[in-house]
Amino acid sequence: MNPEEVISSFALDLPPPPAVAGLYKPMVIVGDLAYLSGHLPIMGDGTPMVGEVGNGNTVEEGHAASRQVGLNMLATLRAGLGSLDRVVRVVKLLGLVNSPSGFSQHPQVINGCSELFKEVFGEDVGVGARSALGVSGLPAGVMVEIEGIFQVR
């Protein structure tokens, strides 16, 4: 199945592309690479998923927030490219986790996004290079922020 068929068959509900909240573009295409700015876990109704993972929020809640970020990134890609079928490869993700000092499960949190991309694009295309880091705060107090680089046609 191609990515658009996966979205339909699994009834994945892509939210509207997130609104720009500063002086940046959500996606910039240079050659065959699409660079996505940091995306946040904003629910379809506009509610942000806030809090610190490991201090009031569980790894599972952070994982769900990371998956929501992935859905928002897919919405941005679809809006900018016209179809997710134009994605050739997930090249690189950078995941930031709002977490306290000493927290060490950043990769498990960012897996929420990575697993979604593997589900939509398949393992060969959907799994790329990745970094997962902890930070002391993120915009609007959200749990995670993720940016990405995608090869496109």
pLDDT recorded at residue 13: 86
Question: What pLDDT is attached to residue 105?
Answer: 98
Say how many CA atoms lie within 13 Å of 102 toward its Cβ.
2
Provide DSSP, 95-108: EEEE--TT---HHH
What would the pLDDT profile of 99-108 be if each residue is shown by its tens digit? 999 999 999 9
Residue 76 is predicted with a pLDDT of 98
The stretches in the chain having pLDDT less than 50 are none
pTM: 0.97
The whole-number pLDDT of residue 11 equals 85
> Residue 83: what pLDDT?
97
Residues 6 or more apart from 91 whose CB is under 8 A from it?
A: 33, 128, 129, 148, 149, 150, 151
| pLDDT score for 17 | 93
Paired with 34 in beta bridges are: 29, 150
Question: What's residue 27's pLDDT?
Answer: 98
Residues 64-78 pLDDT 10s? 999 999 999 999 999
Assigned CATH for 25-152: 3.30.1330.40
